Amino acid sequence: MDELLEILQDLHPEVDYETCDTLIDDKILDSFDIVTIISEISENFDVVIPAEEIVPENFNSAQALYELIERLGDE
Amino acid sequence: MKNKRITAVFLVLILTLGSLYVLQRLLVPKYQTGIVEGSMVEEYYKDESDHEVLFIGDCEVYENFSTITLWEKYGITSYIRGSAQQLTWQSYYLLEDALKYETPKVVVFNVLALKYNEPQNEAYNRMSIDGMKWFMSKINNIKASMTEEENFIDYVFPLLRYHSRWSELTGDDFKHLFSKNLVTHNGYYMRVDSKAQSEFPDPRPLADYTLGEKAMGYMQKMVNLCKEKGIKIILIKAPTEYPHWYDEWDAQVVEFAKNNNVEYINYIPLQDEIGLDMSVDTYDAGLHLNTSGAEKMADYFGAYLKANYDLTDYRDNEKYVAIWQEKVDFYNAMKAQQYDELETYGELVSFGANAIED
Amino acid sequence: MLFTSIEFVGFLILVVALYYLVPRKIQWPLLLVFSYIFYYIADPRYLLFILVTTLSTYGISIVMENINNASKEYLAAHKAELSKEEKKAYKAGVKAKKWKWLLICLFLNIGILSVTKYTNFVINNINSFLNDTSKLQLVDMIVPMGISFYTFQTMGYIIDVYRGKQEAQRNPFKLALFVSFFPQLVQGPISRYGDLAPSLFAEHKFEEKTFTFGLYRLLWGYFKKVVIADRMLSAVTTLVQQPEVYSGTYVFVAMLFYAFELYCDFTGGIDITIGIAEMMGIKLAENFNLPYFSKNIKEYWNRWHITMGTWFTDYIFYPISVCGPMLKISKWSRNHLGEVIGKRVPVYLSSFVVWLTTGIWHGAAWNFIVWGLMNFVVIMISQELEPLYAKFHKRFSVKGKPLYEGFQIIRTILLMSAIRMFDCYRDVPLTFQMVGSMFTKCNPGIFTDGSLMQIGLTASDYIVLFIGLIIVLTVSILKVKVGSVREVLFAKPAFVYYAVMAVMFLVIMVFGAYGVGYDSSQFIYNQF
């Protein structure tokens, strides 16, 4: 989780990822950010997030994203 | 609450329709000054008395026969149902339309329009059709007359056609929103000015001299309709020489008249007999007659009608005298005004092209 | 049938009236029938194309879903006995099978789209390399109306089914309606099945608010389209079709005119489309969100032609940027080019592909391809400059100040309008030359010497345009301030609510640039 937060902080230092759960809905993360995050995740977690998992529910909060990584890593 | 809303809807609907109606009336051309030809077809309905002679055709009737002279000299009641470049099918439908209101004894049709076999021009179409009342004749007339660019719906709702006139509205459009002045004398369009006939260009030889099937067909329909109603029909070619009336065309009309057992008179060779002097009797260098010419023509033609057709002399009939006196007064007043303008300005200023407002 | 033709208005009245008169069960079938009639009237041959797309998509979506269901059943039944690896392998196998079907569907339909739209473009380009004797013949190809729109919409659906996000529609007629729904055939929006289907197939009772809101939207669309856009069109055409006459400041005028004309034409058309649907209780996706209020180009593309933008993001940008090879490239470039550049590689590459395809999608011409790439370049530059902007904003604390925001908005409009000039001129070099002449040739005298009266617009046209654009601006600002202008009107007494509508109608009737004397213009986006 800390590793993920670090990735996110890198992109938008001003956001409080611990509490924010509207990262997509409030357009804090745009498509460029998402792609950057996914490539970072594949680099650091060895998890590939496929295109069909790019939905607001998975990216709205750091927590949701972390759960996604765990789920995909499990499979 | 709900009822209130429904009332509001209806109220707005009525107001909208009312506004549309007024807007439409405002935006359609009034044809009251300058180009008055667009008022002619509509004006017919205002004339409540009947007529024994009905002229049908284009400018070669409405500028060449003075209906007032026919009355004054022979007591003939007549009306000219003509409009600018009135095509043969338009003439047929206008005749059909007129026969709903009256049954004249004689119908006179000028044959020049036979040269056109196709719809010609939107502006002329609108001038001869817009003024008609809504009956089948009008619908059929529109269908027969529309050019390819035109839409039927534009005739039903002229606003669709004329909406862009909002930027060119003139005083006339407001003044004549609901009432129009008479511009003709029983269909006769008066011009007293004079411009001598000059040389016409040599007629171009045509590839094909056959008069079109559609035009000839509608003339046939006219003849049939008159026969059916017991009306005598006379085909004429007015005495003016331009546009050129080819001998080949003339022969075809002669043939047609013979086959149908109707009369056809070409007045071009009869100019001298009529007494026309084309150096004074035309206002546009020989295309159309002016009032002095039209009066001569009416005098000559009236005598012929009187001699050959069983027409009533209504000058003994008080009712008609009263009606016609008004027309004569209007005729003389306009004539006086036109001569007045001629004298003052050297040309007409409130009639014809000079009168068109910018 | 153009939206602005009297025939279309008649067609519309008939459809909407019948929609509320027939039993509610057959409301959506009615729409299907009339959508096909609409297409048939345009050209009977078009029906063949739309049928192929519909049937192929239908068949393949069912096959894919059957594969899905079978695999789920299999996994459920054999839950206990399969190891994790076995399960993974089985899933991969299923996915490969579906992938094969998806590819067939995409190849077929994108193939039809490409062949109809781009064959002549390709031939022309090949010909430019050949000498005169060996030139290839151009082919006489029909381009079915709105094929780009319905193909994209349908491919979006099949990809969603493939991804398991969307259940397949098992009623072929319902799918047929989704593909062919007539208001959006002409120029979009590109709907998502999941968004559109619920209201498209629902039964709708006549409701005053829904119906009149739709009518308002429709009238507003006609106002923008007929009163403003169609009136400006002749001037834009005059200016861009005689580049040798109209250069320098004229180009600037053409640029602004085209910006307003395109905006009013396209948003007006979409308002008509959405309005028609709304009158029948059907909700279409919004395609614009006041794009000319955007403060930068990225925001602009989030607010202009939204359904196209999200389509490209979801179905091209993401898949490309997260696919295996791309991740490998990303890894490689991080190792070899350093962290800073390496990080950007996937984003840049995918964006490049997206803008290239966006350009191609807009039209079979180099102009559009260059246009797409110009957008790419500008977005990338502004992306790179972002840290610089941030510093600037901090240093001078201008961010959010009205004056500065105004500057940002105008800058964005001008920038987008300049790039858009590729739509207008004959070819790419000419466009560069003309846009360049704006800076090199200075003839602002045309604003005062009456030259602008010679380009097809009269003084009264200018007055109508000026007032019209002020109205559009005012309504746009109102929209920002109050959200829904229609809600505000609806809260007013019924008489006022309907009277405003009636006035709109009368204004369109009188001041609309329709009928004889005006070129009836196709919606600009119709060909795309």
Helices C172-180 and C147-162 cross at an angle (nearest 10°) of 140
Minimal C-alpha gap between A52 and chain C (Å): 6
* Residue B278 pLDDT > 60: yes
Nearest chain A residue to C92, by CA: A75
CB neighbours of residue C36 within 10 Å: 18
Select the residue of A54, A55, A75 nearest C88 (Cβ to Cβ).
Answer: A75
Q: Are residues C185 and C305 in the same domain?
A: no
Contact B9 C6 (CB under 8 A): no
C465 and C331 within one domain: no
Quote the CA–CA distance of B324 and B333 in Å, as a whole number. Answer: 14
* Closest-CA distance of chain B to residue C508, Å: 10
Give Cβ neighbours of residue C194 (< 8 Å, ≥ 6 apart).
Answer: C160, C165, C166
Tell whether C491 lies on the interface with B, counting CB pairs under 8 A. Answer: no
Neighbours of C383 (CB within 10 A): 18
* Per-residue model confidence (pLDDT) at position B33: 83
CATH classification at residue B95: 3.40.50.1110
Do C358 and C484 reside in the same domain of the chain?
no
**DSSP assignment string, B236-250:** EE-S---S---HHHH
Domain that holds residue B316: 38-148+173-198+210-332
DSSP 3-state helix, strand, coil percentages of chain C (rounded to 5)? 75, 0, 25
Residues 6+ away with beta carbon under 8 Å from C73: none
Out of C423, C451, C478, a domain closes at C423
Chain-centroid distance, C-alpha C289: 12
Locate the chain C residue with the closest alpha carbon to B152. Answer: C6
Burial class (CB in 10 A: 0-12, 13-18, 19+), C355: buried
Q: Do residues C171 and C41 share a domain?
A: yes
B164, B167, B168, B358, best to mutate vs chain C, most C CBs in 10 Å = B164
What's the pLDDT tens digit per position in B64-94?
Answer: 999 999 999 999 999 999 998 999 999 999 9
Residue B345 lies inside a defined structural domain of this protein = no
**Neighbouring-strand partners of residue B289:** B282
Q: What's the mean pLDDT when you consider all of chain B?
A: 92
C517 part of contact set with chain B, CB < 8 Å: yes
pLDDT mean over A5-17 = 84
Specify the DSSP element, H or E, that contains B79: strand B78-82
Q: Which among B12, B24, B146, B150 is the top mutation candidate for probing chain C, defined by the most C β-carbons within 10 Å of its own β-carbon?
A: B12
Q: Are residues C96 and C175 in the same domain?
A: yes
Question: What type of residue sits at position B163?
Answer: H
Tell me, what's the pLDDT at C522? 39
How many domains does chain B fold into?
1
- Chain C residues with CB under 8 Å of a chain A CB are 88, 91, 163-165, 298, 302, 313-314, 317-319, 321-324, 326-327, 330-331, 334, 343, 346-347, 350-351, 383
Q: Give CA separation, C229 vs C85, C221, C223, in Å.
A: 62, 10, 9
Write the CB contacts of B217 (distance below 8 Å, at least 6 apart in sequence): none
With CA atoms as reference, report the closest residue to B193 among B89, B84, B63, B284: B284
Cβ-defined contact of C494 to B8 (cutoff 8 Å): yes
For residues C176 and C323, state if they share a domain. Answer: no
Q: Which of residues 269-308 of C touch B (CB under 8 A)?
A: none
Contacts of B12 in chain C (CB under 8 A): 495, 498-499, 501-502
Identify whether B270 is part of a domain. yes
C-beta separation of C165 from C61 below 8 A: no
Q: For residue C462, what is the nearest residue in chain B, using CA coordinates?
A: B167
**CA–CA dist B224, C271 (Å, integer):** 56
Q: Are C249 and C446 in contact (CB under 8 A)?
A: yes
What confidence tier does B1 reach under pLDDT thresholds 50, 70, 90? low
Reported ipTM: the value is 0.90
Q: Where are the domains of chain A?
A: 2-74
Q: What are phi and psi of B85, to 5 degrees?
A: 45, 50
- Residue B106 main-chain phi, psi, to 5 deg: -130, 135
- Beta-carbon contacts below 8 Å between B and C: 60
Instruction: For residue B236, list its beta bridge partners.
Output: B110, B265
Which of C423, C447, C479 is the endpoint of a domain? C423
Tell if the CB–CB gap between C347 and A36 is shorter than 8 Å.
yes
Chain A residue with Cα closest to C351: A32
* Other C-beta atoms lying within 10 Å of the C-beta of residue B170: 16
Show the domain range for C326.
292-423
Chains that touch C (3 or more CB pairs under 8 A): A, B
Residue of A nearest to C309 (CA): A31
CA closest to C514 among chain B residues: B160
In a shared domain, residues C68 and C200: yes
CATH of domain A2-74: 1.10.1200.10
Structure token pair of residue B269: 């060779």
Which of A38, A39, A58 is most worth mutating to test chain C (most C CB atoms within 10 A of its CB)?
A39
Q: Which residues of chain C have pLDDT under 50?
A: 519-528
Residue C21 CB-density burial (10 A; 0-12 exposed, 13-18 middle, 19+ buried): exposed
* Cα separation, A9 vs A13, whole angstroms: 5
When comparing pLDDT for B75 and B148, which is higher? Answer: B75
Tell me how many domains chain C contains. Answer: 3
Looking at per-residue confidence, does B2 or C470 come out higher? C470
- Measure the CA–CA gap between C279 and C271, rounded to whole angstroms: 12
Determine, for residues B166 and C493 on separate chains, whether the beta-carbon distance falls below 8 Å: no
